[in-house]
Copies of this chain bind each other. A is one copy, B any other.
Amino acid sequence: MIRVAVNGYGTIGKRVADAVTLQPDMELVGVAKTRPNHEAETAVRKGYPLYAAIEDRVHLFEEAGIELAGTVEELVEAADVVVDACPSGIGAENKAMYEAYDTPALYQGGESADLVDVSFNARGNYDEAEGADHVRVVSCNTTGLSRLLAPVEEAYGVEKARVTLVRRGGDPGQTGRGPINDILPNPVTLPSHHGPDVNTIFPDLDIDTLGMKVPATLMHTHSVNVTLEDAPDAADEVRDLLAEESRLFLIPERHDIDGAGKLKEYAYDIGRPRGDLWENCIWEESVSIEGDDLYLFQAIHQESDVVPENVDAIRAVLGEADRGESMARTDETMGVGLP
């Protein structure tokens, strides 16, 4: 049993914790939180041992009547691996602590690629993580691009990829974020950092990206162009290729799904926890071939697509399974893969 700690129990951390408890080969040692809010209460109610992320705040948990299992340092020590899901930049601050206890650590996409030995995407470069002490599961957007480009590169070769990422302004509960009524080139300078981030997974891929921010909260949406080295005659071939991948969902035309709202509704209907969509959601009709160019639209659920990747990264780092085994196990236990 792999003993897993989760440090930072927010949007990503709580999902990773839930996913870990579903794994037959893993045990959730505990989760660390900074504040005794309702998420802390819920963690306790779920039976997750709760640790104080900041020693000075232990008394706050006590005052709130929330029982602690210890401090984050004890948690890190007790674990075989720690998943850091703290806000951007905090992971970097935590690195020394993980090193002090000699616990391998996974970080999230908000941390810099320089912080770690390896950036990780299961479909893209699973094997490279084995034995690494510091691994970064790339961001939601980079995860979405890596999953898509891996099979495309293998089947047809990528001459150049050009992607416009139309990003949600904030997650549904982040009420302090805008814009309210605008479309923001973001960043304004081109190409954006998303392309280089994909290159942490596929160093040789030629990719230019452009980012925007819009007043929506549910999912990011990518407008994807890939000039192929060896393009197939028909888009159907590409559809078949993508349909093979468990973490790519080809939205069938008959589903009549026009955007993220109806995608989430679909996720609710089929019983997904939190309405999570762990898969890239690619509009089947949009997959097109024009000469050498492949085009498609995909929606990326920022809050959840990295969750199965974190689970796989745990096994990859510890060398507990190969890529195929790990991805299959993760998919089966979580229910990844959509009809």
Q: A49 in the interface, Cβ–Cβ < 8 Å?
A: no
- Is the beta-carbon distance between A215 and B218 smaller than 8 angstroms? no
Question: Of residues 191 to 231 in A, which have CB atoms within 8 Å of B's CB atoms?
Answer: 191, 208, 210, 212, 214-221, 223, 225
Q: A115 in the interface, Cβ–Cβ < 8 Å?
A: no
Q: A271 in the interface, Cβ–Cβ < 8 Å?
A: yes
Minimum CB–CB distance from A57 to chain B (whole Å) comes to 14
Binding-face segment, A104-112, A134-142, A165-173, A239-247: A165-173
Q: A275 in the interface, Cβ–Cβ < 8 Å?
A: yes
- Is the beta-carbon distance between B254 and A172 smaller than 8 angstroms? no
Q: A102 in the interface, Cβ–Cβ < 8 Å?
A: no
Given the complex, which residues of B lie within 8 Å of A37, measured CB to CB? 254-256
- Is the beta-carbon distance between A210 and B223 smaller than 8 angstroms? yes
Most buried by B among A172, A257, A260, A290: A172
Given A180-B217, A208-B295, A286-B188, residue A174 in contact with residue B223 (CB < 8 A): no
Minimum CB–CB distance from A96 to chain B (whole Å) comes to 30
Given the complex, which residues of B lie within 8 Å of A260, measured CB to CB? 182-183
* Interface of A (DSSP majority class): mixed
Minimum CB–CB distance from A169 to chain B (whole Å) comes to 5
- Is the beta-carbon distance between B269 and A42 smaller than 8 angstroms? yes
Q: A296 in the interface, Cβ–Cβ < 8 Å?
A: yes
- Is the beta-carbon distance between A190 and B296 smaller than 8 angstroms? yes
Given the complex, which residues of B lie within 8 Å of A261, measured CB to CB? 171-175, 179, 181-182, 217
Minimum CB–CB distance from A151 to chain B (whole Å) comes to 19
- Is the beta-carbon distance between A258 and B166 smaller than 8 angstroms? no
- Which one of B172, B175, B212, B285 lies within 8 Å of A223 (CB-CB)? B212
Q: How many Å lie between the Cα of A87 and that of B180 in the bound state?
A: 21
Given the complex, which residues of B lie within 8 Å of A173, measured CB to CB? 261-262, 264-265
- Is the beta-carbon distance between B216 and A269 smaller than 8 angstroms? no
- Is the beta-carbon distance between A162 and B293 smaller than 8 angstroms? yes
18 contacts between A and B (CB under 8 A): A37-B255, A164-B166, A164-B210, A172-B261, A173-B262, A174-B178, A176-B179, A178-B180, A180-B181, A182-B259, A185-B221, A190-B287, A190-B297, A191-B290, A208-B225, A210-B297, A214-B216, A275-B275
